[in-house]
Amino acid sequence: MARRTFSIGGVHPNDAKISRDCKIETLPTPPVVYIAVAQHIGAPAKPVVAVGDKVKAGQVIAEPGGFMSAYIHSSVSGTVKSIGPRKDLSGNNQTVVEIAVEGDEWMEGIDRTDTLITEIPQDPKEIIEKIKLGGVVGLGGATFPTHVKLSPPPGKKCEMLIINGCECEPYLTSDFRTLLEKGEQVVIGTAIIKKALGVDKATIAIEDNKPEAIEHITKVVEGLKAKSADYAGIEVLSLMKKYPEGGEKQLIDAVMHRQVKSGGLPIDVGAVVDNVCTALAVYEAVQKNKPLVDNSVTVTGECFPHQANLLVRVGTPLNYIIDYLGGVPENAAKVISGGPMMGKAIANLEAATLKGTGGLLFLTREQTKRMPDSSCIRCGKCADACPMGLEPFLLNRLAKAGNTEALEENAVQDCIMCGCCLYSCPAGIPLLDVISQARGQIMGIMKARAAAAKAAAEAAKAKTE
Amino acid sequence: MLVSPNPHLHSKTTTAVLMRDVVIALLPAVIVSVVFYGWKELLVLAVSVLSCVLVEYLITRYCLKKASTIGDWSAIVTGILLALNLPTTTPWWVVFIGALVAIGVAKMTFGGLGQNVFNPALVGRVFLLISFPTYMTHWEIPQGLFGVDAISGATPLGVIKEGLMQGASVPELMAQHGYSYSQMLFANIGGSAGEACAIAILVGFIYLVARKVIKPWITLSILGTVAAVSCIFWLANPAQFTDPLFNLLTGGLLLGSCFMATDYVTSPMTTKGGIIFGIGIGFITLMIRYFGSYPEGMSFAILIMNSTVPLLNNWFHQKKYGRA
């Protein structure tokens, strides 16, 4: 049988999952945590604690700052030392709540035992409220507030829930380990999200370079289906290993053979996509009353001597994690937050983890070196690689010419920044660098145009009234 | 610590790797041509490759005052292709002029690799064909590496064209000269070195496709068009028109469709554009063969279609995700 995958583009980097056999280990609590109030897409949360307050682990320290926002909880027990700006991993100031750790006292009502609760609540409203109170956000990278995603706008109907277990980024293994070690929780979380959406079908999609995970989750799903009708309709789907399979748009194409229109949302084609770690966070928030205060982080790289998958409290300083594993190796030239294709190079190792931090990757200069760029030989490899069907060579040329009209016409705004073009260019042309800048510019122009059109329509309306 | 935008990894396939793969793919044809035509062919190859590399080096270093680009292997590819397009008997200085035109005029004046509109090796060849017709139409029947007396003669395409003009029919001419398809497939027909052995060229082509250096669509489109169109003519009048197999196996059709039409720089970026490009090449080649004054039209057909590439790139785009 042909291996199923998305239909346009994609590349096959060496998946280098060298930390795949490392069990998730709990990192000791650091002496101090720095919890950012903006850890999600949308409005930053508003702090509700003051300097000097005693807080417990799991206590709300910031409330949603708008509709598109999320609760932030303390990940430790201790005293609030300061609330103010601190440099994030790029070196930009962000508001953080600094908490000095004292003991490990948790809020009452939080169940931290391993006891599985397979019986799920039946009321979607109750589920979504619990997810909101748990501060759950998407852990696949975008950190979209989950309770917002699970409340589709009126008129839009979800037909399929897709749980994203692709982990198509090379090196990262925290999703894989979560599937193996907390498979039951992930599947129960899936059933809960399915219930909240009122949808019949859910697909847990896993790339076929993780056969153990596919086998394990299939078994877990079968076991739970035998127990309760709540698990009917959950299927496990094996997908061909190809980057960027875990991209939301690509995954919908691979699983449902549908494509989200440019500028549209997955729900437009009846899909909701959540990461496996999000499903786990949903399980913990709904079944165990435990808010999202810790997440698993892969620490890896060929030059890094101690591969690990760690369960880390949100707000742990990155250098605390690295020192725990023996410090930055001498030959590491770049430390990346996330995977090597879409992750961010870290400028400031004193920055702290966020809810969405999934990996710390160490690369040597040799591994991450860019070739000096030479002439485009028009091989078309960038266009073959682009999972959005764009023509990066053309966008690059148009961007250099400053032709904004043609850039928009050739859909630069559809770029998902996956890096396939730059990865595959034999001439080493910094395609994505140029394209992402042009994309920002075009999106700005489109936004301004939409705002102007809206203002004009309102003015016309006011005039007629 | 280094800080730069994503992606942080890069594929190991560089321009030099791709061009080296093309050289490897040309090796079977090179080896077969040397085995069949002997040391003289080796001389043509050596002069051609060395001249191409030298001309590019001198132009980049001393005219453009830039870093030399010979490390990307593309001049070597041009050199081999030019040599395979010339008769074994071509004098060394004619080969050098061909290289000078190919690299100096067709490639470097446009700005070097990636900028040229026309395939450099073909421009070199056509320049020589028009400037030195005597050298360029004086073919040798392969006598092997140790053959002593070279027999010169015309290529099958030339023989047929000549014969038809004198009123003979195709089947008569085929029988008279004893042309067989197995001969054409495995070498031993007159022609430029690279035209001699179909199998060697196909082996190289399969290597390039398997290594994902090129996609097969342009080549298949040319071969399909030639087969289909010549089939119609042949069925209509077998006395006047040669059959599809003869057209596929003779002249520069295979070398051209596998190695020259698929040149990245001078072919369309998209598969759709490539198929139109191939249909054009196949059709023009056959029209020149059937109705033109030259016996062979592959070089002209590719060069003509090279000039349509910017247009084809404008007309044909990839299918974009989520857009009609």
Tell me which amino acid residue A231 is.
Y
- pLDDT single digits (tens) A320-379: 999 999 999 999 999 999 999 999 999 999 999 999 999 999 999 999 988 888 899 999
Which among A256, A367, A379 is the top mutation candidate for probing chain B, defined by the most B β-carbons within 10 Å of its own β-carbon? A379
Question: Which chain B residues contact residue A264 at CB under 8 A?
Answer: 322
Question: Which chain A residues contact residue B11 at CB under 8 A?
Answer: 11, 13, 423-426
Query: Does B184 score more than 90 pLDDT?
Result: no
CATH 3.40.50.11540 fits A1-24+115-364, yes or no: yes
Whether A304 has its CB under 8 Å from any CB of chain B: the answer is no
Out of B5, B69, B269, the one facing A391 most closely (by C-beta) is B269
Whether B66 has its CB under 8 Å from any CB of chain A: the answer is no
Query: Does B34 score more than 80 pLDDT?
Result: yes
Question: Which chain B residues contact residue A433 at CB under 8 A?
Answer: 5
Buried b (16+ CB within 10 A) or exposed e, A4-27: ebbebbbbebebbbbbbebebeeb
- Cross-chain Cβ contact A383/B318 below 8 Å: yes
Separation in Å, CA of B268 to nearest CA in chain A:
8
Separation in Å, CA of B35 to nearest CA in chain A:
33
3-state secondary structure chain A: CCCCCCCCCCECCCCCCCCCCCCEEECCCCCEEEEECCCCCCCCCEECCCCCCEECECCEEEECCCCCCCCEECCCCEEEEEEEEEECCCCCEEEEEEEEECCCCECCCCCCCCCCCCCCCCCHHHHHHHHHHCCCECCCCCCCEHHHHCCCCCCCCCCEEEEEECCCCCCCCHHHHHHHHCHHHHHHHHHHHHHHHCCCEEEEEEECCCHHHHHHHHHHHHHHHHHCHHHCCEEEEEECCCECCCCHHHHHHHHHCCCCCCCCCHHHHCEEEEEHHHHHHHHHHHHCCCCCCEEEEEEECCCCCCCEEEEEECCCEHHHHHHHCCCCCCCEEEEEECCCCCCEECCCCCCECCCCCCEEEEEEHHHHCCCCCCCCCCCCHHHHHCCCCCCHHHHHHHHHHCCHHHHHHCCHHHCCCCCHHHHHCCCCCCHHHHHHHHHHHHHHHHHHHHHHHHHHHHHHHHHHC
pLDDT band for position B154 (cuts 50, 70, 90):
low
Q: At what angle do helices A392-401 and A431-464 cross, to 10 degrees?
A: 70
- pLDDT single digits (tens) B201-252: 999 999 999 999 999 999 999 999 999 999 999 999 998 899 998 898 888 8
Which A positions 396-435 lie with beta carbon below 8 A of chain B?
410-411, 414, 417-420, 422-428, 432-433
Which A positions 86-145 lie with beta carbon below 8 A of chain B?
none
Chain B's closest residue to A365, CA to CA, is: B2
Q: How far apart are the first and last CA of chain B?
A: 44
Q: Output the six-digit token pair for B184.
A: 């054409």
Question: What does the domain layout of chain A look like in residue ranges?
Answer: 1-24+115-364, 381-464
Question: Which stretches of chain A score pLDDT less than 70?
Answer: 1
pLDDT band for position B148 (cuts 50, 70, 90):
very low
Q: Contact, A14 vs A341, CB < 8 A?
A: no
Mean pLDDT of B66-72: 89
Tell me what pLDDT residue B144 has: 57
Question: Which chain B residues contact residue A386 at CB under 8 A?
Answer: 318
- Cross-chain Cβ contact B14/A260 below 8 Å: no
- Cross-chain Cβ contact B1/A264 below 8 Å: no
Q: Output the six-digit token pair for B39.
A: 């040391």
Question: Which chain A residues contact residue B3 at CB under 8 A?
Answer: 334, 345-347
Looking at every residue in chain B, the average pLDDT score rounds to: 88
Q: Contact, B65 vs B100, CB < 8 A?
A: no
- Cross-chain Cβ contact B9/A335 below 8 Å: no
User: Parallel, antiparallel, or unpaired for β A160-165 and A93-101?
Assistant: unpaired
Whether A13 has its CB under 8 Å from any CB of chain B: the answer is yes
Residue B126 CA to residue B253 CA, distance in Å, equals 15
- State the complex-level ipTM: 0.88
Whether B322 has its CB under 8 Å from any CB of chain A: the answer is yes
Residue B165 CA to residue B242 CA, distance in Å, equals 14
Separation in Å, CA of B205 to nearest CA in chain A:
16
